[in-house]
Amino acid sequence: MLDLFREILQTLGHNKLRTALTGLAVAWGIFMLIVLLGMSRGLYNSAQRNNSMEQASYVSVWGGYTGKAHKGYKEGRRVSLEESDIDPVTRLGGRTVAEAMGSVRIDSAKLATMREYVTGGINGVYPGMQIADHVEMVHGRFINERDLSERRKVVVINEDNARLLFGAADSAVGRRVDCMGLSWAVAGVYSSARSRTSYVPFTTAMMLTGNSGRINTMNVRLADVHDISDAEEAEAAVRGVLSRRHEFASDDNGAVHIWNRFENYLQQKKSIDILQMVVWVIGLLTMLSGIVGVSNIMFVSVRERIHEIGVRRAIGAKPRSILIQVLAESVAITAIFGYVGVFLGILVTEVIDKLIGQSDFLYNPRVDINIAVEVTVVLIVVGALAGLFPAIKATKVKPVEALRDE
């Protein structure tokens, strides 16, 4: 093993410039593969974070305008969803609907303390909207069922607003803010990465808005969704209930707008899968230059050591031992420079993670142990392929001809 290591070092040092250029090609290929895999992983993590399977099971519905005349009503009629629509949709039950929730929005409201005030939107919601809106709590809790039933005056605010109103986000829970002429208790604080909206119980918001039972949005959690046909079936069922209640044609898509998140989730997942495959292809194609370079080094090395190989064959060395030696040298060269590329690639992904790795676009783009193992396997395979043909050529060296040529 020590002799093999010495021979590898000798091969590397025989032509330093040639070795350096070849090594640069290998390192660059691996570096690009690691960075691209890290970026694709960041995109995948961001997609999962912004639209998880749990979130994908929600369908959002809001009113629109009819596009067709129906039962004596003219087209162009405004359709507004109402609180009374929630129970009929919930009663669909079975494999279709697990829960229907209303949401009402107050577009501009002022939250104030003795210290400061902030303005922004307020959403009156059900507890399930924590999942649907991907609200990440950092202190306290989200709206709960008791808040709804008792019409409590509690509010969930984001971190930035908590800092402005109270000086620190972790001291906001339990303290009070003034809003719409009432005093509200802060129930929780959520991460500000996605939104600056404040959340209050749906029933409390409906009591304050005085909008005759109208709601802005209905969010429906689907019961048993496995593929796009299940989601489309549920969407059609919800549209059917609303069409009967609001007297519009069931195929009038403009009367109510439905955002089927499951369909978006599947399309996004398919796109990410394609992207990851493309990244591997690009990375492997980039490595081709390194493979050619390593193969060239090994061909030149075999040519320069024809006499040595002939002597070894003459004193009894088997072709198998010559093959193993050349392959080992090729794998070692590829691995040494490849791991330089791995190290630099990991370093760059760590820097990217520190700079923009918590954004909605790119989340945690670092490579994990699985990718490191995959790259190690790729390095071994690439090294073996690069040295295969030179190794075969070395085994075909005839001792008599090698010694005569010398």
Give the model's confidence band at 189: pLDDT under 50 very low, under 70 low, under 90 confident, else very high. Answer: very high
Tokens of 67: 């596009």
Res 357: pLDDT: 64
Q: What is the DSSP pairing of strand 154-158 with strand 176-179?
A: unpaired
Query: Tokens at residue 33, please?
Result: 């593969």
Same domain, 370 and 282: yes
Asked whether residue 148 falls in the same domain as residue 245, the answer is yes
| pLDDT tops 80 at residue 242 | yes
Residue range 73-82: average pLDDT?
91
> Residue 188's domain spans which residues?
55-261
Are 67 and 192 found together in one domain? Answer: yes
pLDDT, residue 315, reads: 74
69 and 209 part of one domain: yes
Summarised one tens digit per residue, pLDDT across range 124-172 is 999 999 888 888 899 999 999 999 999 999 999 999 999 999 999 999 9
Query: What 3-state DSSP class applies to 15?
Result: coil
The total of structural domains in the chain comes to 2
| Structure-token pair, residue 338 | 């490849």
Among 204, 232, 261, the domain-final residue is 261
- Do 262 and 253 meet the contact criterion of CB atoms below 8 Å apart? no
Residue ending a domain, choose from 261, 291, 312 = 261
Residues 226, 294 within the same domain = no
If asked whether residues 358 and 330 sit together in one domain, one would say yes
Beta strands 182-190 and 176-179 are antiparallel
Q: What percentage of the chain exceeds 70 in pLDDT?
A: 86
Q: What average pLDDT does range 51-80 have in this prediction?
A: 85
Phi, psi of 336 (to 5 degrees): -60, -55
- Angle (CA) 114-115-117 rounded to 5° is 90
Same domain for 27 and 118, yes or no, is: no
pLDDT in tens, 215-226: 999 999 888 777
**Boundary (domain end) residue, out of 236, 261, 286:** 261
Same domain for 70 and 214, yes or no, is yes
CA-to-CA distance for 61 and 229, rounded, in angstroms?
Answer: 18
Same-domain check for residues 143 and 278: no
Between residues 57 and 140, the one the model is more confident about? 140
Q: What is the pLDDT of residues 358-396, one digit of tens each?
A: 666 677 777 777 777 777 777 778 777 777 777 777 777
pTM summary value: 0.66
